[in-house]
Structure 1
Amino acid sequence: MKSDTKYLTRNDSGVWMFRRRIPEKLRKYFNSGTFLKQSLETKSLTQARVKRDALNAQIDLKLEEEKSGLPLKNRFQALYSEMKPHYDEGRRKVREGKWDDNYFLDSFDPDLQRKENDETYKAAYYSIVHEDVPEQYRLTISELTQEWLKANKGIKNAKYSSTVETASKFLIEFLGGDELPENVSPGYAQGFLDSLIAKGLSAGTVSHYKSKLAEVWRWGLTRERFTGSNSWKDVKVEAPVEQKEQSHFRNLTTEEAETLLKETRLEAMNSESWPYPFATYALPRLLPFLGCRRSELGTALKDQVQEHDGHYFFEVRKGKTKNAKRIIPVSPVIEPLLLDAIARSGSSPWLFPEVGEAEGLTPEQALNSISSKVSSITRNFAKIEGYKVSLHSLRGHFATALEEIGCPEDLAVTLAGHKRISLTYGLYSKYSNKSELWKYIEQIHRAKCMQAWVSS
């Protein structure tokens, strides 16, 4: 019996080589000339045959794709998705005793449907019957990601989709290749997250990547794009102690503040790819004069801006601590911008609708995106004695400004939300301290630390 050595030759060292003529239209895929020549890196004929068959499968798949004009994995998935519900319905009715046989077998049988020469059709049919999808038709991680992106275009916003792509790219790099999703075990998933933390990524960023990959896996499993389980369900993002410790922030220098204000100009933020232009412009300009936490202002409703006796007040209804509820007088310097925000919000109840009504995200997640945008501007600012700069730093400017203009400490901490609630509600209900409050709020722009905002 003649030995099976088709497409196989041996070099002088005894290593088996693969050699096959490649049709001209396929050469671009294999970076080859008339023949594809490749070492199989083995002296074993048995191993050489296995590697040869794998290469032949790749070539034949590409050849069939070129003939049909449709990527075969896509066509396979389309056929599989079309046939599978009929097969499942037939099995159910057989179990319930309503049918004697599963009509699917006759209705879709390749021979009866004259599809005996359609390899992709036959593969989809027998994959359903035998419950085993051939590897060449299984989606890789990058292919699954691209299917998810295509299916969710117009459903998820650009930021969300971009994070999905980044997470997928990092995962493939970690695995050392474009693996099948079912090959990513919980152990590999946990190792991937741990590697990102080890590289210095924040626990928040890694958590975003984990959630996006979990969503892609969930989407793929429910649509039977691959088999197995969601490897991301039970893995955890475990930040080191130094990341868990509270971050400390410093005020911006005048030069840094000018840079931040320049980089967040409204015309610079307006682009099709950035969904939060006005909020990104307004928050860095409002926060230093209100002393709010970013979430207190960024997720506010517009009816939290109240007018009383010709003055405007901002009502903080909930916040990070139990003392956060308070009323903050609005400086005349930012009054036009705050009123502009209300006018822009239209019929929306949110002060910043692009945050409150962010597509596919909670308001807090949208704020995280804005904070990341600001951090991309401030990350090159110097870290002095361990203190860094971020959107949260602007809250410190408010406290520093009050101190510079001589505001009593007990009044300053009330405005910042650090005293008991009864004081702030007394202020709101009776406005008994309005003269004393306005005495300082009307002067806050005179503080040296506010110079960049006043001159911009």
Structure 2
Amino acid sequence: MSKTKQDTKHLTQRGSLTWYLVVRKPAFLGGKIIVQSLKTRDLKEAQQRRNIALGDLERAWAAHRTAAPEWTTPAGILAVGAAVAAEVALGRVRPGDALEGFDLEAWHRARDSDPNGLTFPPDLAPAMAEARALLTGEPLPLALSAAVASHLADLAHARPSTVRTRCRRLNALVEALKDPPLASVTRADLAGFVRSHVTAADLAPKTKKAFVVDLRVFFRWAKASGLLDADPSENLTKLVRDTTRGVTNPAAVRAWTDSELSQLLNKMREELPPDDYMFTLVHVALYSGMRAEEVCNIRGSDIVDNCFVIREAKNKNSLRSVPVHSALACYVTGLGADEYLIPGLTPAGVDNKRSRPASNRFSRYKTVWGFDTSLNLHCMRKSFITKLEAAGVPQSVAESLAGHARKSLSYGMYSNGAGFAVLREAVEKVQYKIF
């Protein structure tokens, strides 16, 4: 039998042995199967009529091709691939014919966008690869961007600011490496990225180190999740070293001095009404060492046995009780169980914190009053801890009051912490020479 007689592509015979044309419409026209009688039993005649019919169909389809939106977006291409795969699953079209028709339509799309018809739009190429994988049944390698998205989804417990920062850093990696398969990322790729995007950037050494740590955390997660056999980020932090050179940084945040606190309070008395919440915020921060958000979340029900009970905080070490200093008695007396110590605040910012508007307001005032960037509301906490140290309070007691992890193995692992009597005595040692 000759080669011509074996050419039965798009041809099939039915009961009367008449030849029929069987061809699939392009996806943008619905992707249905066309079955058309060629009205002949002769194979050679059927081949000729098939070729003519295919030409007519192609010209008719070409007239509609420019109106097909499916091929202009990644989502549209994936939808086309899914529709074709469904036809294959239902047995309406053979897998080989489906893939061939999909590739033919993609070629026409490439020809429409490129006069030479040789390239498919680069931004649509990943979607094309994924759609073809649906038709071939071959698993598509997990893209770096997909792994990053999965990792970020696992951070539901983390603070929003942490998620945003890691998202920004990992997406910078995805963009720099052109979103390769996760498994193809090498140590050399990561080292090159760190040198070009981290060490060469105008960032503080601590920020550079944190950037690389976020990369390490992601790849350790990917290995632990079974997405990688080996971690290419091993020892990556060695590429970014903290500076050991001692240099004075005048902009570094520091504790408020008694003289500066006196100036601040005098300005507040001159320009703010006596019942302004800013007085409560500043004094409680100075005499308790609590963070601004901790102060702003205290209600009357959180003051138990004359102690501020911090029930929700930055981390587990921050969950603590701080005795109420005698200088703060006027602020807590008569406070109702459901009343906030700092009333009238509306949660704001991406972290939805009550302290956000208060902190921003304090920053505006202190800048207008002539205090530089080395002093802010959080520096009140530094002042409290500095006073504890100056008064000779043991470090383990100061760590309990500040909500810091105790560094001593004996105290940190085995001790329940200092008793309230010891904590209260330590708090009362905090005194400021302010007027």
Under TM normalisation by the shorter chain, which class is it?
0.3 to 0.5
Name the TM-score, length of structure 1 as normaliser: 0.40
Name the TM-score, length of structure 2 as normaliser: 0.41
The structure whose Rg is larger is 2
